[in-house]
Amino acid sequence: MRTTRVVDSGMADTGRERVQTDARARGLEIDIVERPAADSLESAARLLGLEPSGIVKSLVVKRHDGDYIFVLVPGDRQISWAKLRALVGVNKLSLPHEDLALSATGYSRGTITPLGSTSDWPVYADERMRGTRVAMGAGEHGYSAFVDADALIAAYRATVADITDELKPRR
């Protein structure tokens, strides 16, 4: 079930401010850091002082019924569509076009996070995130939000399971 959250533009004008406001409301401690652009996951991880698994991709996934979910995936992994479909209990899931993801969350690709999203959807997190501090989108390009993964999972009552496979090397 999709819930649209109205964000008061007078209080949270930027994506980064929306992230901070939502984190405070959920009792989450986050650190938002400015970071230079990176040309790869490995480069981004190096800039942030992390292993690639420490960067979490927040993906918007469209259900067959037109609703959406957030899926949190460690940077060195990719969604296992078969595992995720089985967990969600549907036959079809897809990644929406980036324009749909933007209109559905208020964030462009590369900045997406459940924190401060204009829509409050169910969150699914890969089990490999547990017990770690991760970096994720902070609502704006050039910034990353560091957060305790267990606290993030608890704040969203996320469903945690094995929903990924190893990232296949690029050719």
Number of domains in the chain: 1
CA 67 vs. chain centroid, Å, equals 17
With beta carbons less than 8 A apart as the criterion, state whether 45 and 137 touch: no
Q: In what order do the strands lie in the sheet with 133-137?
A: 30-34, 143-148, 133-137
Is residue 20 in some structural domain?
no
Write the Ramachandran bin of 151: left for phi over 0, alpha for psi from -120 to 50, otherwise beta: alpha
For residue 56, what are the domain limits? Answer: 35-166
pLDDT digits (tens), the chain, 171 positions: 333 333 443 445 799 999 999 999 999 999 999 988 888 889 999 999 999 999 999 999 999 888 999 999 999 999 999 999 999 999 999 999 999 899 989 999 889 999 999 989 999 999 999 999 999 999 999 999 999 999 999 999 999 999 999 987 766
pLDDT computed for residue 75 by the predictor: 95
Is residue 28 in some structural domain?
no
Is residue 8 in some structural domain?
no
pTM (2 d.p.): 0.89
pLDDT computed for residue 170 by the predictor: 66
Domain at 95, CATH number: 3.90.960.10
Is residue 87 in some structural domain?
yes
Burial letters for 54-89: b for 16+ Cβ neighbours within 10 Å, e otherwise? bbbbbbbbbbeeeebbbbbbbbbbbbbeeebbeebe
C-alpha dihedral sign at 156, 143, 148, 76: positive
Listed in order, strand segments (DSSP E) in the chain are 3-4, 30-34, 56-63, 68-74, 77-79, 93-94, 119-120, 123-126, 133-137, 143-148, 159-161, 164-166
Residue 99 burial (10 A CB sphere; 0-12, 13-18, 19+): exposed
What does the angle CA 98 – CA 123 – CA 74 come to, to the nearest 5 degrees?
A: 75
The kind and range of the H/E element at 153 are helix 149-155
